[in-house]
Each structure stands twice: as C-alpha cells, then as structure tokens.
C-alpha cells in the first residue's frame, strides 16, 4: 500500500483465511516486521507538529486524544473548550500546558501561539465553518470532522478561507486512512473481481438521548444522513472512484418520537454513476447499529461488515467456490489520519481528503434530501 497514511502497512502484513482454514498466516512474523519497520523509520522532519483540539466532547475524549499516543508526526499541545474544568483535567492527563487552554472567546488569539500548527475541529456540524474559518484567520492548518458543514455554501467559505490563508484543509474521512477500506478500494478498482456492477452500503444506529446536538437541526444540519449515512455515500464514491450523476431517495421519520422533532430518522438513497454502476444505500437513526457494504463485481464480491466502525473491521471476498477472510493489523484511524495531515503540512502536499471532498458529499446530500422531498430522481 502507498504511504499516504504516514505508516507502512504492507500487504505482507495481512492474514488470509480461505474457507474455514487459516492459510497464509505467519501473523506473528508479519506483525513483528511491521512493528520493527515503524521503529526504524525516522520521523522525517525531525519533530512532531502541534495540534489544538477544538471541542472536547465524546469523540475527542474517547478516540482522538488517546490516538495521539500512536501518532508519529502529531502531538496534542492545546485545547479549545467552553468547559474549563474538563479542559484542565484533560490537560493534566495529556500534558497540555495550562497556557494553551483556550475558550471560544479567546480562540482567535491562538494565532500568537507558535506551539500550534494544526487545529482539529471536533464541534457540532453547524459550528464547523465558523471555527474553521477563524482557524485559518489565525494562520493555522485545519482538519475538520465530517460532515464538513451544514451547507455547501459554508463548505465553499471554508475552502476559500484555506486558499486565502495558504493553509491546508482536510476533512476527517478516517476510513480512507486505514487498511481495510484502502484494500477494498484497491480491489474494487483493480477489477480483480470483474468490473464493479453495484455497491450496496448501509450505515446507521439507534440513536439515544433526544437532547443531543445531533438531533438539533441548527447544530447538525440534518439527521441520520449527515451523521452516519454520509459513510454509505462516501463509500459509494471512494469504492467506485466515480461521482454520481443522479439520485433517488425515500425517507421516513416516526411521528411523535421525541428524538426526531427536527431531523430525519431514516433516509435511503440510490445513486447512478457515469459507468452505469448503481449504488443502493440506507441511512438510519432507528435501526440496530450497522456499518456494512458490498461491492459486487461480475466475478466476485467484497463484503465489509463492519465496514466503518472505529475497530473490528472485517473483510470477506467471495469468488466462485471460495470465500476468503482478509485481515490486517488494526490501525488507529484517528492516529493515521492525523499523521497524514501532519505529513501533508510538513511536506506541503494536498491531503487525500481535502475540503473539496467534503463539499462533494454535502452537495450530494442536499440533492438526496431534495429527491426525497420532491419524490423525483434528480440529475446531479
């Protein structure tokens, strides 16, 4: 695999199971080789870049902050939070200097802090644009969580601000930075299983607390599609390597459910691509957690289930008379994507998932909503 993740995850490092038996293996050897490869690779520019985390919610606390321990090119050096108690406590745990704790009022003064190279926006969707633009105005590079913003117009403002500031903008599509999804892309586009005929992608979960920001239209921009269905959409695009040209959709939201006063519960969509490839996708805030996709070639299929969770991904390849389970050493998605961003900044490269990638999903999601509303197939 190429090294755009900033880690060498070699194809030698995977385990192959054919049918019921463990075949290729030599797992211990592969893992050792992999580990020693990481130990002997020098940090290219001699140091780690400094990151500021904006927003200290569940994702930051449970995934992003612990991921820095696995980073080779990224270190956490600052927090931006509306909760000083939480920020102070986390600062002690992660060795962040008290002088590097900001709030939303003094956020712009981060421009004077040379410790901070990159800002990671982990706020509710409706705040992404403002805090990204202010980050660029402070002269920093920005990694922003998905979905990029609530509207395509906001996405464009973010892209423009990055250009004006001559800084990098990346959207946190973490699945592009871990080996299972990368291998699925490689296989799908290699035509090893014949040309891809169809992609089926299903992402959703049964959402809890009715008071969370994800269920607030102003903060979330929409419902399941914006938060979780975007994985099915993004996968359809990265697996096909094409941009859809038409879209269809059907939606349903349980009336009277206190969770869904402002945003949609389920929204299913169909995409047509220029090659004739079709995608059939579901998105839900109501069903049992599911993250699943299938790539159907003429001669075989890729099945990923789960496909996009943080851990425990599984890939199965089916061909005539064989089913192969393909395994890779697990990679921390957040560490991998942050190191990619650091690497892009250090080497002045464009990120694999730049602002334009986030904008494309936003434009399509708006058309999915429009298709569901108008009950018509819409050309893109």
318 binds a copy of itself (CB under 8 A): yes
Both tokens assigned to 149:
């913003």
Q: Which residue of 109, 298, 311, 322 would you call a contact of a copy of itself, by CB under 8 A?
A: 298
The number of beta carbons lying within 10 Å of the beta carbon of residue 20 is 7
Residue 231 falls in the annotated catalytic set: yes
The active-site residue, picked from 7, 146, 168, 367, is 146
Assign 268 to helix, strand or coil: strand
Shortest distance, CB of residue 74 to a copy of itself, whole angstroms?
33
Angle between helices 230-240 and 355-374 in degrees, nearest 10: 120
Return all residues near 169 (Cβ < 8 A) that are at least 6 apart: 132, 136, 141, 142, 144, 158, 159, 161, 162, 351, 354, 355
287 binds a copy of itself (CB under 8 A): yes
How many residues line the site for a copy of itself (CB under 8 A)? 42
Closer to a copy of itself by Cβ: residue 98 or 375: 375
Angle (CA) 373-291-58 rounded to 5° is 90
Q: Which residue of 28, 58, 190, 375 would you call a contact of a copy of itself, by CB under 8 A?
A: 375
Residue 146 falls in the annotated catalytic set: yes
280 binds a copy of itself (CB under 8 A): yes
Rounded Cα distance, 85 and 91, in Å:
10
Task: Scan for tokens 């961003």, then name that residue.
Answer: 341
Question: Is there a cis peptide before residue 100, judged by omega within 30 degrees of 0?
Answer: no
Q: Which residue of 24, 25, 198, 366 would you call a contact of a copy of itself, by CB under 8 A?
A: 198
HEC readout, 274-297: CCCCEEEEEEECCCCCEEEEEEEE
Whether the CB-CB separation of 315 and 304 falls below 8 Å is answered with yes
Q: Which residue of 156, 290, 310, 363 would you call a contact of a copy of itself, by CB under 8 A?
A: 290
Q: Which residue of 286, 351, 355, 358 would you call a contact of a copy of itself, by CB under 8 A?
A: 286
Q: Which residues pair with 245 in a beta bridge?
A: none
Q: Which residue of 134, 266, 333, 360 would you call a contact of a copy of itself, by CB under 8 A?
A: 266
**Interface mask (CB under 8 A) for a copy of itself, residues 319-348, using x and -?**
x-----------------------------
Report, as residue numbers or ranges, the catalytic residues.
146, 231
The residues binding a copy of itself (CB under 8 A) are 193-194, 197-198, 200, 202, 204, 206, 246, 248-250, 252, 254, 266, 268, 270, 272, 276-278, 280-282, 284, 286-288, 290, 292, 294, 296-301, 318-319, 375-377
């Amino acid at each position: 695999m190429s090294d755009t993740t900033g880690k060498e995850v070699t194809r030698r490092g995977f385990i192959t199971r054919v049918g019921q038996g463990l075949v290729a293996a030599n797992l211990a050897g592969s893992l050792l080789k992999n580990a020693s490869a990481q130990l002997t690779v020098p940090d290219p520019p001699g140091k780690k870049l400094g990151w500021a985390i904006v927003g200290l919610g569940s994702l930051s606390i449970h995934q992003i902050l612990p991921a820095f321990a696995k980073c080779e090119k990224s270190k956490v050096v600052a927090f931006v939070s509306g909760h000083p108690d939480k920020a102070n406590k986390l600062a002690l745990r992660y060795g962040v200097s008290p002088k590097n704790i900001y709030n939303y009022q003094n956020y712009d003064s981060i421009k004077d802090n040379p410790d901070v190279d990159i800002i990671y926006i982990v706020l509710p969707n409706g705040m992404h644009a403002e805090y990204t633009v202010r980050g660029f105005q402070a002269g920093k590079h920005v990694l922003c969580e998905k979905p990029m913003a609530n509207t395509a117009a906001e996405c464009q403002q973010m892209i423009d601000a990055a250009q004006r500031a001559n800084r990098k903008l990346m959207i946190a599509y973490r699945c592009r930075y871990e080996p299972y999804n990368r291998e699925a892309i490689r296989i799908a586009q290699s035509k090893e299983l014949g040309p891809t005929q169809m992609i089926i992608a299903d992402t959703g979960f049964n959402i809890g607390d009715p008071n969370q920001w994800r269920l607030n239209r102003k903060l979330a921009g929409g419902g399941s599609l914006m938060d979780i269905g975007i994985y099915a959409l993004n996968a359809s695009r990265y697996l096909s390597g094409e941009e859809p040209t038409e879209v269809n959709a059907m939606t349903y939201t349980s009336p009277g459910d206190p969770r869904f006063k402002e945003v949609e519960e389920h929204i299913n969509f169909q995409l047509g691509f220029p090659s004739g490839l079709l995608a059939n996708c579901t998105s839900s805030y109501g069903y049992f957690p599911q993250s699943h996709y299938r790539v159907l070639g003429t001669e075989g299929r890729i099945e990923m289930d789960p496909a996009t969770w943080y851990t425990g991904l599984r890939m199965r390849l089916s061909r005539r008379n064989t089913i192969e389970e393909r395994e890779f050493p697990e990679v921390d998605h957040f560490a991998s994507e942050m190191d990619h961003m650091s690497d892009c900044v250090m080497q002045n490269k464009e990120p694999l998932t730049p602002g334009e990638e986030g904008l494309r999903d936003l434009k399509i999601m708006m058309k999915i909503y429009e298709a569901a509303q108008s009950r018509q197939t819409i050309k893109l």
